[in-house]
Amino acid sequence: MRLSIVSLLLLVTGCAGLPNYVEPQTGESSAGFKVKHDFDAPILGYSTFVYVHTEEQTCGKSFGSESGAKLVVLDDSNPLISELNPDGVKLAASKKYSFMIMSVAGMSNCIIYASFKPKADEYYEMNVSGQLGAHSTHCKAELYRIDETANIMSPVEFQYYGQCREPAE
C-alpha cells in the first residue's frame, strides 16, 4: 500500500510539470474531443486527469517527453483542483494520440492507457467511469463518435487500451 502511494505521488508530480495541451492552428484539419467522467466514489468527490502525447509509443516514459501535455482535468467536489478544458478540445486529424487517464478519490486511483487517431471534422467523446474506494477500485474508458445532426453515439475502438508498466532499467 505504501509503495503504491509513493508511486502515485511520483507519477502525479511528474505529470504535473507537463505543459497544457495546445490545439491545432486554425485552418488545420481537426476533430472535436470531450471527456466526461462518472464514478461511484466517496462523498469527498473525485478528479480525472487526462494526459496526452503524440509519439507512437503508447506506454512507458514517453508521457514525460517533449510531446507530453495535460489535456483535460475534470473535478467533482474538490475545491483544490482547477478544471482544464472541461468543454473539450480540438485534436489534429489523422495523428495518433495516446492518453494516460488517471482518476483519483482520496487514496484510491485508477489508471488506463488508450490511443486512437481522430478523423477530420468528427466529434468524439470519451466516457471514463467505474468505482473508486478503499474496498474496490476499477475503471474503464469508452470512446464514441458523435453525430450531432442525428444525435447518435457510435462506439469507436481504441487502437490501444489497457494498463502499462514502466520498463525495467
Based on its alpha-carbon atoms, the radius of gyration of the chain, rounded to whole angstroms, reads 16
Residue at 3: amino acid letter: L
DSSP reduced 3-state for 80: coil
- 129 contacts 143 by C-beta, under 8 angstroms: no
Residue 8 pLDDT: 41
On whether residue 76 sits in a domain, the answer given is yes
- Residue 59 maps to a domain: yes
Does residue 85 sit within a domain?
Answer: yes
> Can you give the pLDDT at residue 149?
87
Determine the Cα–Cα distance for residues 29 and 92; give it in Å rounded to an integer: 6
> What is the number of helices (H) and of strands (E) in the chain?
1, 10
Q: Which domain holds residue 49?
A: 2-162
Q: What is the pLDDT of residue 5?
A: 40
Residue 70 C-alpha from the chain's centroid: 9
Q: Is residue 108 part of a domain?
A: yes
Residue 77 has a pLDDT of: 87
Instruction: Determine the Cα angle at 62 with ends 56 and 65, to 5°.
Output: 115
Residue 144 placed within a domain: yes
Q: Is residue 112 part of a domain?
A: yes
Look up residue 148 and give its DSSP letter.
T
Number of domains in the chain: 1
Compute mean pLDDT per 10 residues along the chain, 169 residues long, and list them. Answer: 39 66 93 96 88 74 71 91 96 93 92 94 97 89 94 94 63
